[in-house]
């Protein structure tokens, strides 16, 4: 009676799999574009401050809710451009609420509780600070769009606007107060090779030729040297030996790379199943 032994497949070790996964995560972390810390950072990008929110991604660009007395009535969206160091903001009322366009001084962004970065009085000339109402009719608006110059750093940001209501004042102020973290990656300068000065009088050719001419005397008391100095030429096969050594290094590098590749394939590729026969006597 004959049978076949069950084949066994060798899988890559758990340590190897964990190492490869860690390398993949590290590469993703290095190349992932970020502007600041998660939750406190604006999205990376720019915006045209023209009162049209169509270019904004209301999901990805959402920064914070805007509320009054615990009721959320609006949303704050932010973007930041590291090249121009400009912060862009979009404020939109929600659930049918509308902003009071007749109080432009109360529609603003404030940094660290001091001056206003931009407000409804800033105007819109294409240079930050810029401000534009969204769907405004002169009295009410759906919100506003704004921009202001701001260097990278950590701040406290306050976004403010008045929401029209039926109260005695005719409005309810809503705000968003919280930390703002802006971090921009610094480009690594490319190293510049330092030129090596060639000593004056050093031959630039491949060999050393005879020295001709009469050297100048060091002092007035030493006369000129007569005749041609004897110079021992270097071996004629010096250049060939240098090339051979360079080729050897190149071949060695290729062999080492090939060995590493073959070793990786041997580890990751399962061996072919082997059959063993059993005999019953």
User: Residue 171 maps to which CATH number?
Assistant: 2.60.40
Q: Would you say residue 144 has pLDDT above 80?
A: yes
- Residue 70 binned pLDDT confidence (cut-offs 50, 70, 90): confident
* pLDDT band for position 171 (cuts 50, 70, 90): very high
| Number of compact structural domains in the chain | 1
Cα distance between the two ends of the chain: 9
Q: What is the DSSP letter of 54?
A: G
Residue 11 lies in a domain: no
Tokens, residue 56: 């904004």
> 28-40: string of b/e by CB count within 10 Å (b at 16+)?
eeeeeeebbeeeb
Domain membership of residue 205 (yes or no) is no
Contact yes or no for 228/211 (Cβ under 8 A): yes
**Structural contact between residues 163 and 99, judged by C-beta atoms closer than 8 angstroms:** yes
Assigned domain for 31 exists = no
Q: CA angle at residue 119 from 118 to 121, to 5 degrees?
A: 120
Answer yes or no: is pLDDT of 69 > 60. yes
Query: Which pLDDT tens digit goes with each residue over 14-62?
Result: 455 444 444 443 334 333 334 444 569 999 999 999 999 999 999 999 9
pLDDT for 79 beyond 80: yes
Q: What is the mean pLDDT of the chain?
A: 74
Please indicate, yes or no, if residue 101 is contained in any of the structural domains.
Answer: yes
Alpha helix stretches (DSSP H) within the chain: 14-31, 238-268
Quick: pLDDT tens for 229-261: 454 444 444 343 333 334 444 545 544 565 566
User: What six digits make up the tokens of 161?
Assistant: 């606007």
119-137 confidence digits (pLDDT tens): 999 999 999 999 999 999 9
In a domain, 230, yes or no: no
Tokens found for residue 71: 């009721």
- State which H helix or E strand residue 146 sits in: strand 143-149
- The pLDDT assigned to 159 comes to 98
* pTM reported for the whole predicted model: 0.57
Query: What is the distance between the alpha carbons of residues 219 and 216, in angstroms, rounded to a whole number?
Result: 9
Per-position DSSP letters for 175-195, written without gaps between them: EEEEEEEE--PPPPPPP-PPP
Between 81 and 213, the more confident residue is 81
Residue 201's pLDDT is 59
Asked whether residue 177 is domain-assigned, the answer is yes
Residue 271: inside a domain? no
Name the residue range of residue 132's domain: 43-182
User: Is 224 a domain residue?
Assistant: no
């Amino acid at each position: 009676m004959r049978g076949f032994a069950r084949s066994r497949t060798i899988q890559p070790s758990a340590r190897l799999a964990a190492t490869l996964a860690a390398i993949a995560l590290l590469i993703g972390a290095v190349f992932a574009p970020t502007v600041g810390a998660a939750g406190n950072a604006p999205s990376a990008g720019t915006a045209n401050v023209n009162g049209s929110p169509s270019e904004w991604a209301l999901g990805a660009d959402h920064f914070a809710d805007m509320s009054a007395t615990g009721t959320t009535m609006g949303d704050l969206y932010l973007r930041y451009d590291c090249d121009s160091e400009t912060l862009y903001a979009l404020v939109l009322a929600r659930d049918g609420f509308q902003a009071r366009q007749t109080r432009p001084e109360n529609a603003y962004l404030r940094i660290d509780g001091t001056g206003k970065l931009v407000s409804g009085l800033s105007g819109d000339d294409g240079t930050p600070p810029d401000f534009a109402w969204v769907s405004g009719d002169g009295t009410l608006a759906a919100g506003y769009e704004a921009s202001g110059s701001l260097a990278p750093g950590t701040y406290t940001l306050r976004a403010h606007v008045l929401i029209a209501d039926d109260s005695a004042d005719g409005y309810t102020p809503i705000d968003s107060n919280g930390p703002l973290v802006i971090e921009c990656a610094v480009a690594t300068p490319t190293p510049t090779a330092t030129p090596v000065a060639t000593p004056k009088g050093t031959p630039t050719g491949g060999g050393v030729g005879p020295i001709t001419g009469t050297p100048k005397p060091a002092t007035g008391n030493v006369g000129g040297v007569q005749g041609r100095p004897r110079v021992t030429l270097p071996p004629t096969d010096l250049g060939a030996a240098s090339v051979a050594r360079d080729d050897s290094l190149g071949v060695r590098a290729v062999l080492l790379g090939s060995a590493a590749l073959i070793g990786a394939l041997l580890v990751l590729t399962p061996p072919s199943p082997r059959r063993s026969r059993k005999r019953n006597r």
